[in-house]
A and B are shown apart, each in its own frame.
Chain A
Amino acid sequence: DTEVTQTPKHLVMGMTNKKSLKCEQHMGHRAMYWYKQKAKKPPELMFVYSYEKLSINESVPSRFSPECPNSSLLNLHLHALQPEDSALYLCASSQDQFRSGNTLTRTLHFGNGTRLTVT
């Protein structure tokens, strides 16, 4: 069990579908992250939210749309995906966002991910 909960665990969608991935944490963390992980590769950062505002977008295509309704929830809206978008999508949280000069310990707490298959 993890302190970051992701739903659904598995998702299969067609290229014309619209779906959403959800992530929830109740640790009082103020930074939340979306990572994408392809098979046998490291997690790659997609988005960072800090205090419910989008802080970092790593040049992610617009077919991925993040949303942070409140400090505990993080969504990733999916539309018109491609088969190559199939991957494990991981959500993480941390006490605060990593910042220059910020010496808070930078520990990421991950959920177990959503395995997405685009057909």
Chain B
Amino acid sequence: LAKTTQPISMDSYEGQEVNITCSHNNIATNDYITWYQQFPSQGPRFIIQGYKTKVTNEVASLFIPADRKSSTLSLPRVSLSDTAVYYCLVGVASGGSYIPTFGRGTSLIVHP
């Protein structure tokens, strides 16, 4: 089963770059890696998704090595509003389907 492992928490300061790594040793060949951000009492919000190498959008970058056993979410120049829980998500195979399964999440606190 593809499961994910992330650090439970991280601290950073405004203006710094933050890198959060997720391990997914048993990821399926055709599965994507997706990262979500969640604020208290809100639903998770899509940040970025990738299959291999590097993906970049207006808010983040995602680095995926060739073996795809891990991925790193990079948040450039964080601000206080980036304080949130960050989840990586892969599919867990079950009876021909994939169950979108969240890891434990990384609680990021950005300090002034």
Contact = CB atoms under 8 A, between A and B. Distances in A.
Interface string B35-58: 010000111111001000000000
Interface string A78-98: 000000000010101010011
A112 B93 CA distance: 27
Contact residues of B: prevailing secondary structure: strand
Interface residues of B, number: 28
B101 interface: yes
B30 A42 contact: no
A106 interface: yes
B44 A106 contact: no
Interface of B: 28, 30-32, 34, 36, 41-46, 49, 87, 89, 91, 93-94, 96-105
Interface of A: 2, 4, 33, 41-45, 48, 55-56, 58, 88, 90, 92, 94, 97-103, 105-113, 115
